[in-house]
Every structure is written in structure tokens, then in C-alpha cells.
Amino acid sequence: GSRVDTSPTQSGGEIDVNMVVDKVPAKAAMKAAAPGKRKAPEESTVWDPSSKSPKPDSNGGSADDPQISGANALAVVDPSAIGGAMVPVGNLKGKVSRGGSKYKGVYRDKNVSGKYKCSIRRAEREVHLGYYGSEEEAARAYDKAHWCCKSSTKNFDISTYDAEEMAKIKEMPSNDLTVLRRHLGVGLSKEGKEGSSKYRGVCKEKKTQKWRAEIQIAGKKESLGYHANEMDAVRAYDRAQIVVKGDKAKTNLPIEQYDAERAKLAAYDFNEFQAKEIDTKAHRNANWTSNFRGVRRYTHKQKNDQVNVKWRAEITVNGKKKSLGYHDTQEEAAKAYDKAVVSQPGFKRHWLNFPEGALPAPAPAAALPAPGDAPGGAGGGARGAAGGAGGVKVAKSVGGVKAKKAAAAAAAGETEAGRPEGGFLASLAE
């Protein structure tokens, strides 16, 4: 039929580097033998994917090919006999594929500069086999996948691979390349990138020299805290992965290491996990800050050891904090803050905790510090839920250059009392 002899061209113990076992000549031969026709079904060899026997290659390779047949292949060519040189078995005829690589299954991804990627088709689906710095590495990854699926290699001779590794790969499921992908390191973290950890989700802050862990959930980055040593950050990330993805978590360390707490972690909602298990300043502050601008929690221990919890509203003007009283609820305190803000010259609606509603009546002037600076809230939690625009941030929102000009103008307009006349706020309001 259309079989093409794919055995290596050997003569006198030498291996012809230009030998060809690839599909190109095989297909040409097939076409020559039966132009326009596929191989007749009876000529095909049915291959059982569940068996570990090599699948007859449509390209012309065969199960009895001494070069590529099953476990035998590992012993066919002794690498030492060829001086350990790599022996390409692929289409190295000087032909460069459309992908810009001379190797099978290797492509250049124009989105990823200087890297080669490789993939293999399995059961009508493309399986990604990772990115590599060199064509050769990518070609070898492809070969390993091909070896796993079809018991043959396409780019380099099987003898150039580590026999032990290839035997191990042979044992991996050929219908599900997940195990192989893990073996190849696909989807795991990059290594050797300057300044970063070799672990996923962990990087080192240059400024603080601390290890920062974070995870992205539904497009939003969530902080997992700062850690003095890398492994603490790694574990924080791993645990967060388990919380978010359960058994499908891509952990840095073997997931079995978390067996003792996996059930507990998986039961967490991420926010709950973050609040209870992650020690960040924000969370430490969370129990005394409020979601409202200019409002914070105030606890007062009484003589009978009873703890009184109130919400304190305060505003910062001219760098000085002024109390706006203590309130039973956050909302009341927030309204008190809004009242104080409204009485500031040039105030903006978006400084308010309740910008949508009717403007509150301004607080009596005597009750407030003299105007002269953008109002600042009590800080802390005011940044987060209040849209990240705390009182002080108002100045930022005006823009760097403009804000600087305004500040300069304000400084120039200072009265003998030491405060800018007309107010910094007024200039900000432009």
C-alpha cells in the first residue's frame, strides 16, 4: 500500500542526520500511490488508545518501526554509540514551517516575543504544551507528548532522551495529557525572573524587601498580605487558591501539604478567609474603621469594665483633626461629617458620604475649624468602600500640576493668620 519505509538510514553504524521520517514524504508517497484518496479503512490499523501499544502512524510510521516502537525504542540506539549527539528525526531538510520553526509542533507566538510555544492535537482538541526559550526545548516537549500519545518522537531521536523519564511518560495517560503537562511544568510559575519569586502569586517588593502575596479573583486583585519570608507568602497564596478553587487549586507546594486544613479552607468564602486568615494592616484596622469617610469606631472602657462602642466623626482641616461628636451609628456619624464638609468653601458633592441625597444644612461655623485646607476624613477604611477617594485624595483628583499650582496659589495668598485666604478649597473647586 502506501507504507513508507521510515526506518533510519543507517550505514556502517553511522546515522544520517538528514534522515526523514516525517509526514511530508510519507504524504507525498501516499498521494503518489492513491491520488485524491484516503487510505482505505481496511488498510488502516485500528489503534486502541487504552492500550499502550504504539499507534500506527498515519504518516507512515509503524508499530514495528525499530526506531520508535514502544519500550523497545528505549534500547534501540545507545546514545553513547552516537557520541550523545542529538539525532533529529523530524523534517530537518532545511524546511522551515509556517510557524517559523523547523521543528514539528513548535510555533512562534507573535504575542510572546522571543518565545516558542508548542502544542499537540489530541481528540480534535489542541493541547497546549507550554512556552520555551528555545525551539529545541519546545520541540522536545512536543516529542514527549508525542511519545506519550503515540509512542514515537517527531523531532529528535528517542535515544537522545532520558530513558527513565521517557519510561515514566509512557506510563502517563495518553488520552488525558494533564499529567504530562504537569510533568512539563505547563501552567506553573516562571522561574528566574528578576525580582520575582519562583512561586506563583508571590513577588518581592523592591521598596520594602518583603514578599507580597496576591491572587486575582474575577479580574480583581486581592491582597494576601506582606511576609518577611518567601515561603510564608507562598503558603498564603496556596491557601487562597484552595479557598477559591478547591480541589482544582494550582498550588505552589504539593496540595497534599494542605490536607489537614483543606476542608476548612474550601468551606471559606474568600472574604471570610481574607478577614480571618490574612493578617494585613487593612484587616487589623477593619475593626476600628468605618466604610464612611470621616468616621471611625471609638471604644471606651467604663469603670464597670463594660465597653462602650460609639462612632466618632472627625474632619481634618489645616492638618488638625476636629471632633464632630460621637454617634450611635456609622450613618449618623457620616451625616455629621457631611454637614461639616458642606460648610467648607468650595466643597464638592463627591466629598460627601451621601452625595446622592439632599445637601445637609451646613454646621455652624463656630463648630468647625477655620477653612484653609481640603477636608480629610479619619482615614483607614474610609479609603476602601468610599470609592477610594478619602478627603485628602480630593486634592489628588484635581491633578498633579493643577494641585501644585493651587497649593502655590494658596501659599501665596496666606493671611497674617497663617491661613490661605479664600481657601485652598476654593482654588481646588476651579
Distance, in Å, from the CA atom of 408 to the CA atom of 130, rounded to the nearest integer, reads: 55
- Min separation Cβ 338 and DNA, Å: 17
Residue nearer to DNA on the CB measure, 295 or 426: 295
Taking CB under 7 A as the binding criterion, the range among 197-205, 265-273, 305-313, 318-326 that sits at the site for DNA is: 197-205
List the grid coordinates of 109.
Answer: 507566538
Residue with cell 464638592: 348
Q: What is the CA radius of gyration of the chain?
A: 34
DSSP 54-115: PPPPTTS--TT-TTT-TTTHHHHS-GGGGTT---B-S--SS---TTS-SSTTEEE-TTSTT-
Q: What's the full length of the chain, in residues? A: 430
34 binds DNA (CB under 7 A): no
Task: Give the contact letters, 258-297, x = binds to DNA (CB under 7 A), - = no.
Answer: ----------------------xxxx-x------------
Element (H, E) at 327: strand 320-327
144 binds DNA (CB under 7 A): no
Q: Which is nearer to DNA, 120 or 315 (CB)?
A: 120
CB of 353 to DNA, least distance (A): 14
How many residues belong to the site for DNA (CB under 7 A)?
A: 81
The correct pick among 126, 259, 305, 416 for binding DNA (CB under 7 A) is 126
Cβ distance to DNA smaller for residue 275 or 429: 275
Q: Which of 117, 262, 312, 327 binds DNA (CB under 7 A)?
A: 117
Contact 408, 414 (CB under 8 A): no
Candidates 124-132, 298-306, 334-342, 422-430: pick the segment binding DNA (CB under 7 A). Answer: 124-132
Alpha carbon distance 355, 112 (integer Å): 46
- Residue 53 contacts DNA per CB under 7 A: no
Nearer to DNA, 18 or 196 (CB): 196
Bridge partners, 301 (sequence order): 307
Using CB under 7 A as the binding rule, the residues of this chain from 73 to 112 that contact DNA are 97-101, 104-112
Q: Minimum Å distance from CB 50 to DNA?
A: 15
Q: Is 388 in the site for DNA (CB under 7 A)?
A: yes
Segment lying near DNA (by CB under 7 A), choices 10-18, 257-265, 350-358, 392-400? 392-400
Which residues from 358-387 bind DNA, rule CB under 7 A?
Answer: 376-380, 382-384
Of residues 98 and 303, the one with the C-beta less far from DNA? 98
How would you label 180-197 residue by residue, b for 16+ Cβ within 10 Å and e otherwise?
bbebbebeebeeeeeeeb
> Per CB under 7 A, does 128 bind DNA?
yes
Residue with cell 468653601: 345
Long-range contacts of 65-69 (CB under 8 A, 24+ apart): 65/6, 65/7, 65/21, 65/152, 66/7, 67/6, 67/7, 67/8, 67/21, 67/152, 67/157, 67/158, 68/21, 68/151, 68/152, 68/153, 68/158, 69/151
**416 SS3 class:** coil
Closest CB to DNA among residues 46, 417: 46
**CB-wise, 200 or 327, nearer to DNA?**
200
Going residue by residue from 172 to 191, which x/- string records binding to DNA, judged by CB under 7 A?
Answer: --------------xxxxx-
Is there binding between residue 334 and DNA (CB under 7 A)?
A: no
Give min distance, CB of 401 to DNA, in A: 11
Question: Could you tell me the sign of the dihedral formed by the alpha carbons of 123, 125, 129, 132, in that order?
Answer: positive
Nearer CB in complex with DNA: 109/165: 109
Per CB under 7 A, the list member of 88, 225, 369, 420 interacting with DNA is: 225
| Separation of CA 44 from chain center | 45
Residue pair 381/295 in contact by the 8 Å Cβ criterion: no
Non-local CB neighbours of 221 within 8 Å, separated by 6+ positions: 214, 215
User: Beta strand pairing status for 202-205 and 125-132?
Assistant: unpaired
Q: How far is the CB of 352 from DNA (least distance, A)?
A: 16
Paired sense of beta strands 210-217 and 220-227, if any: antiparallel
Least distance from C-beta 394 to DNA, angstroms? 8
Residues 198-217 contacting DNA, CB under 7 A: 199-208, 210, 212, 214-216
The residue from 49, 76, 131, 407 that contacts DNA (CB under 7 A) is 131
Q: Which region among 4-12, 218-226, 306-314, 421-429 touches DNA (by CB under 7 A)?
A: 218-226
Q: In angstroms, what is the minimal distance from the CB of 75 to DNA?
A: 25
Part of the chain binding DNA (CB under 7 A), chosen from 2-10, 69-77, 391-399, 412-420: 391-399
Cell numbers 498580605 correspond to: 225
